[in-house]
């Protein structure tokens, strides 16, 4: 468990303590943006490899039992996570690496619902697995991803805002972190045609994962009947 805790701290520290702080700016100034991104990608790959290996070899203990009704809620939450993730990769987003030019564009697709569909998808995925697995090792492993995604949202907002404050104010005024927040406030609308394909792709991916999860991971995500 100690190795797992250290690996989780490394992962969270790398993404929250480096990527989301002034340390990133200092490193970029010294190394150059391209070299920093390459080094950070390599460090991330090493970190996640260590985290997975530590999780697979960690001793664990049950923390709680999940009632079947809650289990079905978690299954439904994963559908939302798949849809959000599909929308994140199918929509240009100013908060994504290499898509900074989209900051001045009109938010479309899933961005009308939330400006952080990918981070919310990972946060949901992490939270669902912490709750659903109900053991100490899973709490550390999946909790690390949940923390990285949840803490990454305000950090990423601050980084994008600092890059172009005027454009950011317009983008932030038309979007929200909380799903449907901007829509409920009358600052945007749901364009169903723009999100139809991500919804279908997310639904298909979710159904496929439900089917193949037992053979890939050795456990069914569905609650016992």
Asked whether 12 and 148 are in contact (CB, 8 A), the reply is: yes
Helix, coil or strand: residue 176: coil
101: pLDDT strictly greater than 70: no
| pLDDT of the residue at 17 | 77
| Confidence grade of residue 99 (pLDDT, cut at 50, 70, 90) | low
Distance CA 143, CA 145 (A): 5
Indicate the range of 13-22, 35-44, 171-180 predicted with least confidence. 13-22
Average pLDDT, the chain: 89
CB count in 10 Å sphere of residue 59? 8
Summarised one tens digit per residue, pLDDT across range 63-79 is: 999 999 999 999 999 99
The more confident residue out of 96 and 52 is: 52
pTM of the model: 0.89
Query: In 3D, which of 1, 126, 132 has the Cα closest to residue 59?
Result: 1
- What average pLDDT does this structure show over 74-89? 96
Summarised one tens digit per residue, pLDDT across range 171-201 is: 889 999 999 999 999 999 999 999 999 999 9
Cβ neighbors of 23 (< 8 A, separation 6 or more) are 17
Joined together, the tokens standing for residue 52 give 């997975």
Query: In 3D, which of 69, 70, 88, 90 has the Cα closest to residue 80?
Result: 88
Summarised one tens digit per residue, pLDDT across range 118-175 is: 999 999 999 999 999 999 999 999 999 999 999 999 988 888 888 888 888 888 899 9
Contacts 24+ apart (CB under 8 A), 136-139: 136/1, 136/60, 136/61, 136/62, 136/63, 137/1, 137/4, 137/55, 137/58, 137/59, 137/60, 138/55, 138/60, 139/63
| Confidence grade of residue 97 (pLDDT, cut at 50, 70, 90) | low
105: pLDDT strictly greater than 80: no
| Confidence grade of residue 34 (pLDDT, cut at 50, 70, 90) | confident
């Amino acid at each position: 468990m100690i190795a797992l805790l250290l690996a989780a701290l490394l992962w969270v520290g790398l993404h929250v303590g480096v990527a989301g702080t002034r340390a990133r700016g200092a490193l970029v100034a010294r190394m150059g943006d391209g070299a920093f991104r390459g080094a950070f990608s390599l460090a991330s790959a090493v970190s996640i490899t260590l985290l997975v290996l530590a999780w697979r070899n960690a001793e664990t203990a049950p923390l709680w039992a999940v009632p079947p009704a809650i289990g079905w809620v978690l299954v439904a939450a994963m559908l939302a996570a798949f849809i959000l993730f599909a929308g994140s990769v199918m929509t240009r987003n100013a908060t994504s690496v290499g898509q900074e030019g989209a900051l001045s564009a009109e938010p479309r697709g899933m961005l009308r619902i939330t400006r952080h569909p990918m981070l919310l998808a990972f946060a949901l995925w992490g939270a669902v697995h912490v709750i659903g697995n109900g053991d100490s090792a899973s709490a550390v492993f999946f909790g690390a991803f949940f923390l990285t995604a949840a803490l990454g949202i305000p950090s990423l907002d601050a980084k994008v805002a600092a890059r172009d404050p005027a454009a950011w104010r317009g983008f932030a005024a038309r979007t929200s972190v909380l799903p449907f927040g901007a829509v409920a406030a009358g600052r945007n609308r749901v364009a169903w045609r723009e999100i139809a394909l991500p919804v279908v792709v997310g639904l298909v991916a979710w159904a496929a994962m439900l089917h193949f999860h037992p053979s890939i991971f050795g456990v069914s995500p569905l609650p016992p009947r």
